[in-house]
Structure 1
């Protein structure tokens, strides 16, 4: 008599992160992109003329701070455990 082949169930494919993680990842990407957009510009059309706009508050303080905040949010999103129950 022949043996019946037992068909093994394939494990269900799951995402590494949950919805909450992806939301924070998306927010972090938006912060980083906004920081780089704010950092752009300020160049002079004439290379012989100095444009002091390159040292504005927006490019020196605000934009890099937004990029760092975005990176912090990305790290938080990666380390976040969405299955953890809060009291």
Structure 2
């Protein structure tokens, strides 16, 4: 069950954002994240649902220089939420 939600806004088309997320997933493997699902909200906003076993490592990955530069170049802002099941 997904436990992490990332809401992203960006200046590029959704297809470019989706391609970047998939490229990072393929190259870096999101070793600590699984069940990755990208949901298009509109052309410049998306949500990513995933199961993440280590939020610190995920946060460190987002701070890598090449990903930070992509964010700057594409006016991308990510907001990360830790989800909890309400019973």
The alignment's TM-score, normalised by the length of structure 2, stands at 0.27
- Point out the structure with the larger helix share: 1
Higher relative contact order by CA 8 Å / sep ≥ 6: 1 or 2? 2
Question: Which has the greater radius of gyration?
Answer: 1
